[in-house]
Structures are given as structure tokens and as C-alpha cells.
């Protein structure tokens, strides 16, 4: 495990969903975790300090998840994203695909937090390299 | 001409008188001269006498005087009186008559004086004078007397000469002249060519010369005259003719001076215009011209003055205001200097012709408009087979412009080559007789358009003889569309016939008066159990189709009252006696002049049964839309449940560093906690919560499949491949392998190769087949006792406009009371957690709603279950019949 905690941002408008995921991930002392209830708030946080990865709910009040991802990536505030969605028929848009998101980066609720953790670790390993 | 005859004697008489008068005048003249000469001679003789006296007597007298011898003197004086014409002699001395002799006469005398000079020694001394009186009158008398005699004699001579001359002249000239006169005065004689002959003894004198010359001239003249007469006659006749022609001419004749003022019009011209000839004279030509023609008139005036005499048409305004159309043949006239001197023109009344022309033109225009506007092509072929008429519709239908078509060989132009020989063979006969196989008929023909496209035309062909040559007139209608429509109609009626035959409802045509069945379709046989052979021409009553005949009476009553009946429910008795619930709809129709009714009998027995399923379908549709709405909302709380449990498990785990730290701080033994959780089965409860949450999530996900719009692309798929793929997926499914021993199931594929193409969404069909395989596998493995030699047969067959997939197992089958429910959502025979109850419902929807196909099943408990899927085949363009 790296010494420097990696910054992870969880964006979900439902507080409990957001908190439960943060709680879960927090158990491992691997990440520096932050949460945001909307895309706008998330961007604000990222401007204060960028993150390595964001876990994004696709359905958000205000700007939606996809828009947030594009905006954050364009501003260079965050490079990797995981989609965390409640709908079943979500599919990656071409814009998201261009940002390097793959099928493995999409999680349908209810999600197995362990799988999310697993994926985060994979991504961060990749980034390491 | 007696008058002339009398006058004829004038010449000789005039000659006579003139000779007499001239002779007398000459006689008088000569007598006068003679008399004057005689007189002068008398006078000169007196003079001489005086001189003689002077010489001879004067001395003696002077002496006598001198001597004063009076006697002697007297004697002397008296002697003087003997001298002729001396009447008195006197001697005057000192102014006094001294002596005298003779008679002293006062009148008619002339006196002479002779000086009496006495020569003396002293010289001559005038003693006195001798005065002599001479009687002049007697001289005159003598002369006159002399003349008178002379004159008388001469006159007599003249008279005699004149008479003789008269007679001679008369005999020699006048008589002949009279003859000539008579000859000429008698016009008949010289006209009829008689020669002029004089009755003369002597020949070859001047008269004869004249007469001969005349006769010769007369001969010539007569000939010339005759010629002239003939010419004159001809001229007269011609003039008369021309006059007659001009006056009675049917042409108007109009002469104009150089200013185009009327100098002459003939009666006809005036008549034509409604004026009299007099009214028109002196008026300008342009006064009569129709106003709209004036400018044209100026042009013709100009050209006339240039000597151009072209014929033209001119419209005049008649006296009554009407129009007179004429054909003018003008002729400009020019004087010797070449100056325009006027014009002369003939006018033919062409008003009628004009009117006729106008009518003809209108008629032509009308016909032209007809031929131009007609939708049918009209064309005409001359005896040489060349196009002589081509209307706009022909241009449109055949693509050739009029200019391209006219003069072309009609058949070569529009008839496809394969027909040329036949047309060529028929042409000579047509050319001779105007007859042919197609003449006077309407028949279909194939023509080739300019663009090479062949079209079907209806051709009405007729022949007409123009100036001995046979022409053909064809009216062609493009019936390509009609042909197509006919074909369509034929196909339609075939289609309808097929529909009629294939319709699952029973169609019946029944004669109203005796209820005899006239027509029935195939469904009649299936629905009633009677063959059509048995039923046709038999009464419906004989067949005993109605379980309750009074109900039929009610039906007929209603039909006759309203003309139609809709969905009349009754119990139908099949041939085998089975009663079926049916509805009949009927309508009165007249068929071949017979009052009939057409009825549709619909067996609703099964329909009633399937109605429940339909209601279920409705349920599922609403569920689908509901699911879409709630899925997302449910997933979030499920997520919370799930993660909360995950967190619980994580935070009670003795492996987590944080847990250990917190427990150490609290003095809690993690081992004991674990033990406690396990002892009290808290870990099991937590897992239950987790599994339940995941199950709920699965249900929601499946529910969403109803609402998911089929965005996936529909395309022609290889169903064989899909089936093989599905089998592969099933065999590689861990769950199936593990839980249901899929490997032990014998999969038999019987897939036809020759299948109509069928478009579908590959993944969906895959899902359906996988689902069926899963169901069969589950059913067979869970059967008690388990199915021996489990087998699943998958067949792929071409059906009627469809492709059929059959998935048959030899499993436990489905109980009849359950069969109806298998497609219902949430219906499952599997234990909780194994099936959602949605697999078959979703499959059903994918097949029926998504692909427009059919899905059903048959099952015999204990023997197996077969699911049928029919997917509609693509209707290819080409007719495969």
C-alpha cells in the first residue's frame, strides 16, 4: 500500500448511499475520502484539491453525472471515474468512452461495495504504473 | 335618196349659170372697154378736128375777121359745122360774140377755144377766139348704141355657148356623175360589191380612170371592210360581252383614280356593299374599308404604287354595318410617264367562305383542342406507314416529340422489334383495302417508349380513306397502370379469396328464403365439423347448427329488421354434437339476384379461455411502465440495505485493523464478539438481509426488461447460429452446470437450413432460448423422480411465412391448471430465490410485442413440455409463388 493516501471523491445525492460507501472505503485507511451531494459541489471540492478518482452517481440534481465527469476531466481535476447508477439500462456514452471508462467502471445499484473497492484498487494500481 | 338625185343636177346647172354670168360679165367688161375706147377715139377725133380747123380754117377765119368780112366769116363758120359733132361755132372778139353759126345747145356740150391770131407786121395780134361747141352727148350716144349692139350679140353668143356647154357637160360628165352618185347613194349596191359601171361611148377618159381606180379600191376596200366588219362585229360582240360581264359579273369591279377615289364600280360591287353605284362614285376607297383593316390598306396602297399587284383579302364595312370579306385582285395602272394613275380591282365576295373558313378554323381549333387535351395518344399513319399526326398525349405517353415522330415509320418508331414482322406482314393488305386484323377494334398492344421502356397500351384502330389512300387512326391509352391495377386486383381477389379460405372465422353465404348454404370457407369445416360437400346446397336447419332453433328465429328477425346483426351469441352444435359458444355477425346482401346474408361465425369458446391471458397481458404492460418508474427508486434503498449489511459484516470482522483498534480501546474481545454473533446467528441474519436485497434487486432488474424499449437493432439473423450460441451459453452457465447438471442433458439440434430470412434482435432471441433451456434444465433436474435420460430437442423449421423454433423437453411437463399461468409474470414453480417468475413473461413479450411473433406451449404431464416460437419471415419483394 502506498504511503500517501489517494484522494477519492464520492458523488451521490442520497446521503446514506454516499456515506455508506465512504464508511466502507474508509475502513481500509487507503484513501483520502471526500463526499459531495451534487456535481456542482463536487467540482468545487475538486477545485480546492483534485482527486485521483471519483465514484459518480449518474442521476444527480442539477448537472448530471455524465456532465460532471466531462467537466471534471476537461478541467483536469480528476482523471478516473466510476459510474454508480440506480438505473438498469445505463450505458456509457461515446464521450465517457473517450475518457477511458469501460464496462468494468459501471456499477449498478445495489452494488457490492467490495467490488467497487476492488475496481478502485485496480485503477489506482494502473495509475501507479 | 331622191333628194341627192335631184341635187345631182346642180353641177351642170351651176356650171351653166356660172358660164352665163361670167360671159355676161366679160361681155359687159369688153363692151365697156370698147365703149370707153370709142369714146376716147371720138374725143380724140374732135381734138383732131379742132386741130384741123385750127390749121386749116383758123387763117381764113382770122382773115375774114381781120377783114371784117362777116359774110365770109359766116360762110367759114357754117363750113365748120360740117365737121362732125360740131353743133355751134362762134367767134368771140373782145368778149363779144362777133359771129356765130349753128345751134346753140346748152347741155351735153364741150367747148374748145382757138385763138385767132393775125400776124401783122407788128407782130401777131389776137383778134379774138373761135369757140367751138362740140356735142359730146352724141358721141356718148353713138358709143352706147354701138355697145348695146355689141352686148346683145355677145350675150346671145354666150347663151348659146352655155347651153351647148351645158348639154355637152351634162352628156359627158354630169350624167356619169349622176350614175356614180346613184351608185354611191344606193348603199346596197356598193356594199354588196357591185362594180361601178358608166354608160359611155368613149372609154379611157378621166372618169374611167376614176371608176377603175375606184372599182379597184372598192374591191380592196370591200375586202378590208369585210375584214373590218368581221373585226367590228367581233369587237362589238366582245364589248358587249365585256359590258355584260362587267355589269352582270359576280365579281365586284372597282376602278379608282390615283387618289383611290372611286371612278367606277359595277353593280355587283355596289350590291355587295349595299350601296348604289352612284352613291359610291367619288368616294374614297378607304371609306368603305373596315376600320381595323385601314393600316393593312395603307400597305397595299403602297405596294400598288410600287406596281405590285398581289391578291389579298380585304374586309369592307357594308352600308348596313355588316362585314364584307372579299378577295381582291388589284391591278395598278400607270401613265406613260410611269406615274401611278389609279387602280382597278376585282373583288370576290368571300364572306361566306370566310365564315366557312372561320367555322372550319373554329372546328379545327376545337378538334385540335380536343386532340391536344385528350389524355389518350392520338396518332395517324399515312398509306406509307409514316406518322402523319401526333398529339401531345402521344408525346407524353411515348416520349417522342411531335417533330421527332412526324414522317417516321410508325411501327419502327414505337413497336418493339419482336412485333415488326407481324406488322410488316399486315401493312400491304391495309394499304390496299383499309382492312387489317386490328382495324375497327380495341385491343391491347405493347409499345416501346423513346426511353426504351415498354408500356402496355389500349389501341383503338380505325381506317379512313383520304384521296384514295388508306390511313390509319389510332387512339392509344396507356393502360400500364390499369394492367398493373388489374393484376393488383387479380392478386387482391386472390388474396381475398385466400383470406376467405384461410380465415379462422367461418364465412357463410346463406340464401335467405330457404336458408340454403351457398358458399362456405374452410373454417366452416373446422368450426362446424361438417365438410363443405355435406353443407353446400343444404339448409342450415338440416345441419342442425343451432342448438336452440328459436334463437335462430330471433337472429333472422333481427337481421331482416336491421339488415345486419352484430356479434349475436349462440350455441353452435358441431357435427360431433359438441356445443361451442359462438358469435355470428351477418349482413343482408344480394347475390346473383337472390336475397342472401353473409355471416361470420366465430367460435369464442377458446377465446373466452384466452381472455384471461389477455387480461394478464394488459397487467404486464402496466407493470412494465410501473417497473420503469420504480426501479431506480427501489435500487437506491436496496443499495443502502446491501451496503449497510456489508459495512456491518466488515466492521464486525476480526480481520480489520480498525475493528481491532476500536475493540482494544474498549476492552472488547473481538473473538468473543465473533462467537456471540455466530452463537446468536446474527451473521446468518445479516447474510439473509444481504441475499434478500440482492434478490429484490434481481426482480427489479427483470421487471425493467418489460419497460426497456427495444433500441437494439433489428436485422436479418441467422437463427441457427443464435440457437447454437444459446446452447453454448447455457452449457457454460456456471449456475446451470452446478445446480442443474446441464451437462447430463442431451441437447438435440434439428435445424433446417432452408429458412426464409427473418429479422430479429439476436441478443433478445438468445435470451429467450437461454431462458427456455434454463427452465427445462431446472424442471428436469428438480423433478421428483428426476427425469431419466433428460433431453432437450431444439427444432428450427420454416413455417407459413414464418420461422418456427420448438424447444421440447422430456421433463415432468406442466400440470394443466398451471399451463395457463406459465407466461404470467411472477408466476413460478421454482423455489423462492431460484426463479423470479419473470423469465417466461419477458420471453413472451420479446417474441410477441418485440418481434410480432407468436409464442405458446403444449405440455403433457409426465411426458414433457414443448415451447413454440414463431417469428414472422421477411416478405421478400419477389414473388416466390
Q: Which among A49, A80, A12, A77 has a CA at the least distance from the CA of A22? A: A12
* Helix then strand then coil, % of chain A, to nearest 5: 45, 25, 35
DSSP for residue A63 = S
**pLDDT score at B881:** 38
Cα separation, B332 vs B313, whole angstroms: 16
**Would strands A51-57 and A6-11 be described as parallel, antiparallel, or unpaired?**
parallel
**Would strands B123-135 and B109-120 be described as parallel, antiparallel, or unpaired?**
antiparallel
Q: State whether residue B236 sits within 8 Å of chain A by CB.
A: no
Is B329 a member of any domain?
yes
Cα separation, B317 vs B298, whole angstroms: 16
**pLDDT score at B744:** 84
Q: How far is CA B371 from the centre of its chain?
A: 10
Left (φ > 0), alpha (ψ -120 to 50) or beta: where does B102 sit? left
Cα of first residue to Cα of last residue in chain A, in angstroms, is: 14
Cβ–Cβ gap A113/B646 under 8 Å: yes
Q: What pTM did the predictor assign?
A: 0.34
Same domain, yes or no, for B147 and B78? yes
Percent of chain B whose predicted confidence (pLDDT) is above 70: 91
Of A17, A88, A89, the CB nearest to B636: A17
- Domain boundary (B357, B386, B408) is at B357
What is the per-residue pLDDT across A19-69, written as a single tens digit (0 to 9) for each? 999 999 998 888 999 999 999 999 999 999 999 999 999 888 889 999 999
Which one has a higher pLDDT value, B397 or B6? Answer: B397
What is the per-residue pLDDT across A96-122, written as a single tens digit (0 to 9) for each? 999 889 888 999 888 888 999 999 999
Instruction: Count CB neighbours of B592 within 10 A.
Output: 7
| Nearest chain A Cα distance for residue B643, angstroms | 6
Cα separation, B405 vs B389, whole angstroms: 8
Same domain, yes or no, for B517 and B628? no
Of B639, B656, B700, the CB nearest to A111: B639
Is A65 a member of any domain?
yes
* Closest CA in chain B for residue A21: B643
| Nearest chain A Cα distance for residue B831, angstroms | 23
- Domain boundary (B694, B728, B759) is at B694
Give SS3 for B78: helix
Q: State whether residue B660 sits within 8 Å of chain A by CB.
A: no
| Nearest chain B Cα distance for residue A51, angstroms | 23
CATH, residue B545: 3.30.450.20
Is A48 a member of any domain?
yes
Instruction: Count CB neighbours of B394 within 10 A.
Output: 26
What is the per-residue pLDDT across B411-437, written as a single tens digit (0 to 9) for each? 888 888 888 888 888 888 888 888 887
Q: State whether residue A91 sits within 8 Å of chain B by CB.
A: no
DSSP for residue B714 = P
**pLDDT score at B174:** 77
Is B179 a member of any domain?
no
CB B298 within 8 A of CB B284: no
Of A24, A29, A108, the CB nearest to B647: A24
What is the per-residue pLDDT across A71-92, written as a single tens digit (0 to 9) for each? 999 999 998 999 998 776 678 8
Is A94 a member of any domain?
yes
The number of folded domains in chain B is 7
Instruction: List CB contacts of B785: < 8 A, sequence separation 6 or more.
Output: none
Whether A15 has a pLDDT exceeding 80, the answer reads yes
Q: Which among B480, B498, B270 has a CA at the least distance from the CA of B377? A: B480
Is B180 a member of any domain?
no
Cβ–Cβ gap A27/B651 under 8 Å: yes
Is A23 a member of any domain?
yes
Same domain, yes or no, for B730 and B833? yes
| Nearest chain A Cα distance for residue B841, angstroms | 18
Same domain, yes or no, for B468 and B325? no
Whether B89 has a pLDDT exceeding 90, the answer reads no
**pLDDT score at A9:** 95
> What number of C-beta contacts closer than 8 Å exist between A and B?
70
Question: What residues of chain B lie within 8 A of the CB of A24, using their CB?
Answer: 643, 646-647, 650
Cα separation, B239 vs B236, whole angstroms: 5
Cis previous bond, B193, omega within 30: no
Mean pLDDT of B711-732: 78
Mean pLDDT of B46-75: 81
| Nearest chain B Cα distance for residue A56, angstroms | 14
Q: Give the domain range for residue A15.
A: 6-128
Cα separation, B398 vs B403, whole angstroms: 13
Which one has a higher pLDDT value, B404 or B83? Answer: B404
Q: How far is CA B691 from the centre of its chain?
A: 95
Cβ–Cβ gap B643/A114 under 8 Å: no
Same domain, yes or no, for B791 and B650? no
**pLDDT score at A37:** 93
Same domain, yes or no, for B391 and B296? no
pLDDT band for B711, please (50, 70, 90 cuts). very low
Interface probe, candidates A33, A84, A109, chain B, greatest B C-beta count within 10 A: A109
Question: What residues of chain A lie within 8 A of the CB of B701, using their CB?
Answer: 88, 108
Which one has a higher pLDDT value, B91 or B829? Answer: B91
Q: Give the domain range for residue B152.
A: 11-159
Instruction: Count CB neighbours of B362 within 10 A.
Output: 10
Cα separation, A108 vs B632, whole angstroms: 10
| Nearest chain A Cα distance for residue B638, angstroms | 6
| Alpha helix stretches (DSSP H) within B81-205 | 136-169, 175-185, 187-191
Give SS3 for B38: helix
What is the per-residue pLDDT across B840-879, written as a single tens digit (0 to 9) for each? 887 888 888 778 888 998 888 888 899 999 998 887 654 4
Whether B565 has a pLDDT exceeding 60, the answer reads yes
* Closest CA in chain B for residue A16: B640
Cα separation, B800 vs B802, whole angstroms: 5
Same domain, yes or no, for B597 and B627? no
Same domain, yes or no, for B720 and B809? yes
Is A1 a member of any domain?
no
* Closest CA in chain A for residue B644: A20
Mean predicted lDDT score pLDDT of chain B: 82
CB A105 within 8 A of CB A94: no
CB B506 within 8 A of CB B545: no
Mean pLDDT of B80-108: 79
Cβ–Cβ gap A110/B642 under 8 Å: yes
Is A87 a member of any domain?
yes
Same domain, yes or no, for B529 and B415? no
Q: State whether residue B695 sits within 8 Å of chain A by CB.
A: no
Cβ–Cβ gap B646/A86 under 8 Å: no
The length of chain A is: 129
Question: What residues of chain A lie within 8 A of the CB of B655, using their CB?
Answer: none
C-alpha cell belonging to residue B330:
388589284
Q: State whether residue A109 sits within 8 Å of chain B by CB.
A: yes
**pLDDT score at B613:** 59
Q: Which among B697, B643, B622 has a CA at the least distance from the CA of A87? A: B697
Q: State whether residue A114 sits within 8 Å of chain B by CB.
A: yes
Q: Which among B324, B333, B338, B323 has a CA at the least distance from the CA of B256? A: B333
C-alpha cell belonging to residue B740:
442443474
Cβ–Cβ gap B643/A110 under 8 Å: yes
Question: What residues of chain A lie within 8 A of the CB of B631, using their CB?
Answer: 86-88
Cα separation, B270 vs B693, whole angstroms: 125
Q: State whether residue A1 sits within 8 Å of chain B by CB.
A: no
- Domain boundary (B543, B568, B603) is at B603
Q: State whether residue A117 sits within 8 Å of chain B by CB.
A: no
Lowest mean pLDDT among B42-51, B62-71, B528-537, B728-737: B728-737
Cβ–Cβ gap A109/B636 under 8 Å: yes
CATH, residue A67: 3.40.50.2300
Same domain, yes or no, for B202 and B293? no
Q: State whether residue B633 sits within 8 Å of chain A by CB.
A: yes
Cα separation, B270 vs B318, whole angstroms: 10
The number of folded domains in chain A is 1
Q: Which among B132, B3, B121, B109 has a CA at the least distance from the CA of B58? A: B132
Burial class (CB in 10 A: 0-12, 13-18, 19+), B326: buried
CB B483 within 8 A of CB B456: yes
Is A75 a member of any domain?
yes
Q: What residue ranges in B274-371 does DSSP mark as E strands?
A: 312-317, 323-334, 340-349
Is A121 a member of any domain?
yes
The H or E element spanning position A87 is: none
Cα separation, A129 vs B2, whole angstroms: 175
Residue B472's alpha-carbon distances to B223, B388, B415, B439, B760, in angstroms, are: 71, 10, 15, 8, 60
Amino acid at each position: 500500500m502506498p504511503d500517501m493516501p489517494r484522494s477519492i471523491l464520492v458523488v451521490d445525492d442520497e446521503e446514506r448511499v454516499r456515506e455508506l460507501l465512504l464508511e466502507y472505503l474508509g475502513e481500509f485507511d487507503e484513501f483520502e475520502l471526500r463526499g459531495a451531494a451534487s456535481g456542482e459541489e463536487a467540482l468545487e471540492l475538486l477545485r480546492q484539491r483534485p482527486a485521483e478518482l471519483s465514484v459518480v452517481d449518474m442521476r444527480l440534481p442539477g448537472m448530471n453525472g455524465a456532465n460532471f465527469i466531462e467537466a471534471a476531466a476537461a478541467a483536469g481535476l480528476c482523471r478516473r471515474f466510476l459510474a454508480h447508477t440506480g438505473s438498469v439500462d445505463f450505458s456509457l456514452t461515446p464521450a465517457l468512452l473517450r475518457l477511458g471508462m469501460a464496462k468494468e467502471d459501471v456499477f449498478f445499484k445495489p452494488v457490492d461495495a467490495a467490488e467497487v473497492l476492488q475496481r478502485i484498487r485496480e485503477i489506482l494500481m494502473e495509475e501507479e504504473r | 335618196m331622191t333628194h341627192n338625185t335631184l341635187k345631182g343636177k346642180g353641177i351642170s346647172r351651176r356650171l351653166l349659170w356660172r358660164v352665163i354670168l361670167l360671159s355676161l360679165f366679160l361681155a359687159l367688161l369688153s363692151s365697156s372697154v370698147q365703149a370707153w375706147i370709142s369714146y376716147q377715139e371720138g374725143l380724140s377725133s374732135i381734138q383732131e378736128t379742132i386741130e384741123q380747123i385750127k390749121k386749116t380754117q383758123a387763117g381764113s377765119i382770122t382773115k375774114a375777121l381781120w377783114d371784117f368780112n362777116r359774110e365770109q366769116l359766116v360762110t367759114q363758120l357754117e363750113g365748120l359745122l360740117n365737121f362732125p359733132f360740131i353743133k355751134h361755132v362762134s367767134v368771140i372778139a373782145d368778149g363779144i360774140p362777133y359771129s356765130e353759126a349753128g345751134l346753140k345747145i346748152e347741155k351735153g356740150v364741150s367747148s374748145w377755144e382757138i385763138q385767132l391770131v393775125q400776124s401783122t407786121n407788128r407782130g401777131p395780134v389776137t383778134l379774138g377766139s373761135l369757140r367751138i361747141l362740140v356735142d359730146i352727148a352724141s358721141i356718148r350716144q353713138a358709143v352706147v348704141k354701138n355697145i348695146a349692139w355689141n352686148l346683145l350679140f355677145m350675150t346671145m353668143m354666150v347663151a348659146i355657148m352655155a347651153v351647148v356647154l351645158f348639154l355637152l357637160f351634162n352628156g359627158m360628165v354630169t350624167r356619169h356623175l349622176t350614175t356614180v352618185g346613184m351608185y354611191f347613194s344606193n348603199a346596197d349596191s356598193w356594199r354588196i360589191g357591185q362594180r361601178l359601171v358608166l354608160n359611155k361611148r368613149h372609154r379611157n377618159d378621166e372618169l374611167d380612170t376614176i371608176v377603175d381606180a375606184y372599182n379597184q379600191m372598192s374591191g380592196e376596200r370591200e375586202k378590208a371592210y369585210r375584214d373590218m366588219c368581221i373585226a367590228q362585229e367581233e369587237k362589238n360582240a366582245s364589248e358587249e360581252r365585256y359590258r355584260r360581264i362587267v355589269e352582270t359579273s359576280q365579281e365586284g369591279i372597282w376602278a379608282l383614280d390615283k387618289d383611290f377615289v372611286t371612278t367606277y364600280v359595277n353593280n355587283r360591287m355596289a350590291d355587295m356593299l349595299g350601296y348604289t353605284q352612284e352613291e359610291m362614285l367619288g368616294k374614297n376607297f378607304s371609306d368603305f374599308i373596315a376600320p381595323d383593316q385601314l393600316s393593312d390598306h395603307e400597305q397595299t396602297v403602297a405596294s400598288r404604287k410600287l406596281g405590285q399587284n398581289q391578291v389579298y383579302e380585304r374586309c369592307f364595312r357594308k352600308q348596313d354595318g355588316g362585314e364584307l370579306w372579299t378577295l381582291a385582285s388589284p391591278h395598278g395602272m400607270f401613265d406613260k410617264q410611269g406615274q401611278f394613275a389609279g387602280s382597278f380591282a376585282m373583288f370576290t365576295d368571300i364572306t361566306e367562305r370566310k365564315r366557312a373558313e372561320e367555322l372550319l378554323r373554329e372546328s379545327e381549333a376545337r378538334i385540335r383542342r380536343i386532340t391536344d387535351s385528350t389524355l389518350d395518344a392520338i396518332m395517324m399513319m399515312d398509306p406509307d406507314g409514316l406518322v402523319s399526326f401526333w398529339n401531345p398525349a402521344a408525346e407524353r405517353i411515348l416520349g417522342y416529340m411531335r417533330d421527332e415522330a412526324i414522317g417516321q415509320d410508325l411501327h419502327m418508331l414505337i413497336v418493339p422489334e419482336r412485333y415488326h414482322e407481324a406488322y410488316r406482314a399486315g401493312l400491304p393488305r391495309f394499304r390496299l383495302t383499309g382492312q387489317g386484323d386490328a382495324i375497327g377494334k380495341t385491343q391491347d398492344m405493347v409499345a416501346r417508349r423513346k426511353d426504351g421502356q415498354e408500356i402496355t397500351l389500349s389501341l383503338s384502330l380505325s381506317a379512313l380513306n383520304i384521296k384514295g389512300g388508306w390511313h390509319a387512326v389510332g387512339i392509344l391509352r396507356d393502360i400500364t397502370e390499369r394492367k398493373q391495377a388489374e393484376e393488383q386486383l387479380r392478386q387482391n381477389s386472390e388474396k381475398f379469396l385466400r383470406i376467405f379460405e384461410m380465415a379462422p372465422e367461418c364465412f357463410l353465404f346463406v340464401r335467405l328464403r330457404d336458408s340454403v348454404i351457398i358458399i362456405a370457407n374452410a373454417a366452416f369445416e373446422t368450426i362446424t365439423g361438417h365438410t363443405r360437400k355435406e353443407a353446400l346446397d343444404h339448409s342450415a336447419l338440416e345441419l342442425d347448427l343451432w342448438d336452440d332453433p328459436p334463437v335462430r328465429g330471433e337472429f333472422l328477425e333481427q337481421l331482416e329488421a336491421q339488415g345486419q346483426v352484430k356479434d349475436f351469441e349462440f350455441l353452435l352444435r358441431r357435427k360431433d354434437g359438441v356445443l361451442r359458444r359462438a358469435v355470428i355477425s351477418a349482413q343482408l346482401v344480394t347475390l346473383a339476384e337472390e336475397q342472401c346474408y353473409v355471416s361470420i361465425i366465430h367460435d369464442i369458446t377458446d377465446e373466452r379461455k384466452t381472455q384471461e391471458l389477455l387480461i394478464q397481458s394488459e397487467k404486464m404492460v402496466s407493470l412494465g411502465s410501473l417497473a420503469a418508474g420504480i426501479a431506480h427508486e427501489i435500487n437506491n434503498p436496496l443499495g443502502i440495505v446491501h451496503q449497510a449489511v456489508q459495512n456491518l459484516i466488515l466492521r464486525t470482522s476480526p480481520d480489520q485493523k480498525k475493528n481491532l483498534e476500536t475493540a482494544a480501546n474498549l476492552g472488547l474481545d473481538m473473538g468473543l464478539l465473533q462467537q456471540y454473533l455466530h452463537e446468536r446467528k446474527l451473521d446468518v441474519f445479516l447474510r439473509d438481509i444481504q441475499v434478500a436485497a440482492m434478490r429484490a434487486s434481481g426482480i427489479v432488474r427483470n421487471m425493467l426488461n418489460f419497460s426497456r424499449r427495444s433500441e437494439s437493432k433489428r436485422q436479418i439473423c441467422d437463427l441457427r447460429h443464435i440457437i447454437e450460441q444459446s446452447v453454448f451459453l447455457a452449457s457454460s452457465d456456471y449456475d446451470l452446470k452446478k445446480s442443474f447438471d446441464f451437462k447430463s442433458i442431451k441437447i438435440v439440434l434439428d435445424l433446417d437450413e432452408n429458412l426464409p430470412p427473418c429479422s430479429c434482435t439476436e441478443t433478445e432471441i438468445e435470451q429467450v432460448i437461454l431462458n427456455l433451456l434454463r427452465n427445462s434444465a431446472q424442471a428436469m433436474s428438480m423433478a421428483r423422480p428426476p427425469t431419466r435420460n433428460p433431453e432437450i430437442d431444439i427444432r428450427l423449421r420454416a413455417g407459413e411465412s414464418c420461422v418456427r423454433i420448438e424447444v421440447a423437453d422430456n421433463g415432468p411437463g406442466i400440470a394443466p391448471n398451471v399451463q395457463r399461468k406459465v407466461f404470467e409474470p411472477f408466476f413460478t414453480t421454482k423455489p423462492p430465490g431460484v426463479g423470479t417468475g419473470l423469465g417466461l413473461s419477458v420471453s413472451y413479450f420479446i417474441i410477441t410485442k418485440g418481434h410480432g411473433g407468436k409464442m405458446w406451449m403444449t405440455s403433457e404431464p409426465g411426458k414433457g413440455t414443448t415451447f413454440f416460437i414463431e417469428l414472422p419471415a421477411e416478405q421478400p419483394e419477389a414473388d416466390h409463388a
